[in-house]
Structure 1
Amino acid sequence: MKPDQIPPTDHTALDEQQCMKLLATVPVGRIVYTVRALPAVMPARYHLGEDGSVLLRAAAKSELVRAVSGALVAFEAGEVSGSDGSGWSVTVLGQAEVAAVPRQHDTWLRGPGQVSIRIRPELVTGRVLPAAPTGRI
């Protein structure tokens, strides 16, 4: 078998710039945090701030806000094809900052009883998932 015919077996790493471009293409990801020392994962709509921060909104009195305020959290987003298993995944690690949303801020973040959660990227990693061999996802 020639080298170009060998199916990829490892995930290809992405650089930070590629990761940020991919994050900008999907509207929903998952925030990963802890509650009473146990891992928790919650889907969340988000968008990227001008500085590359991941911006979420949440109910001010929610368990999520209590758990993440000032904590180190992870945020993951990606896409995977249902037909061949190919895709990508990007993870952002950073401190979560919870704040009231200023009036001049993006209307997407505003809402009654809502606060913003900003995750400033400290570590950004990403991988490309190769297509599975034919017939095996």
Structure 2
Amino acid sequence: MNADPEAASVQVEPRVRPQTRHTRELDETRALELLGRTGVGRVVYTVGALPAVLPVRFRLDALGGVLLSTAAGSELARAVDGAVIAFEADEVDDADGTGWCVTVLGRAEVRPPTPTPTSTTARDDRAQIRIAPELVVGRHLTPDPF
């Protein structure tokens, strides 16, 4: 075997590992409180057995359900009706990586638009999606201790 002696002496620098963030779990009440302070998150669902992630505006209802609005008949509405899906929102400081992240898992229910006598705009054909919170996981991101 003709090994190149020069190649054997080359020192490979170890890869720089990204800083890890420590997390502290939040109770469900605090997680929902933080979630209610923001209005944009990501809904995670499947289309043809493949994962899909879509940024969406949302709000919470009085029971902690996540409410989304989408065009009636949209891919999102068709894909999630009756399915167990995930929803995630967070707020993270770009400078130090501190913040929080909340994930809600639950079954989605698509509520079709309710026609009204004055429905004349495209916005009137919006369906509402409600994700019933079966599992709420919140984490507070803290800086590394070193």
With the shorter chain as reference, the TM-score category is 0.7 to 0.9
Distance in 2, matches of 1:122 and 1:22, equals 17
Runs of 4 or more, structure 1, over 6 Å off, are none
Does the 8 A contact of 1:94 with 1:120 survive in 2?
yes
Q: Distance in 2 between matches of 1:86 and 1:101?
A: 39
1:1-80 to structure 2, matched below 5 A, reads 10-80=22-92
In 1, Cα distance between the equivalents of 2:72 and 2:36?
Answer: 25
Rounded Cα–Cα distance in structure 2 between residues aligned with 1:9 and 1:34: 29
TM-score by length of 2: 0.77
* 2:115 pairs with 1:89: no
Question: Contact 2:21 / 2:97 at 8 angstroms: preserved in 1?
Answer: no
Q: Residues of 2 paired with 1:35 and 1:20: CA distance?
A: 27
Counterpart in the other structure of 2:134 = 122
Unmatched runs of 5 consecutive residues or more in structure 2 = 1-19, 116-121
Larger radius of gyration: 2
SS at structure 2 position matched to 1:52: coil
Q: CA RMSD in A?
A: 2.1
Query: What is the percentage of aligned positions where both structures have the same residue?
Result: 52
Shift of residue 50, structure 1, vs aligned partner: 1.1
Partners of 2:44 and 2:137 in 1: CA distance: 15
Q: Is the 8 A contact 1:84 1:132 kept in 2?
A: no
Alpha-carbon separation, structure 1, partners of 2:60 and 2:123: 18
Query: In structure 2, the residue corresponding to 1:111 is in which secondary structure?
Result: helix
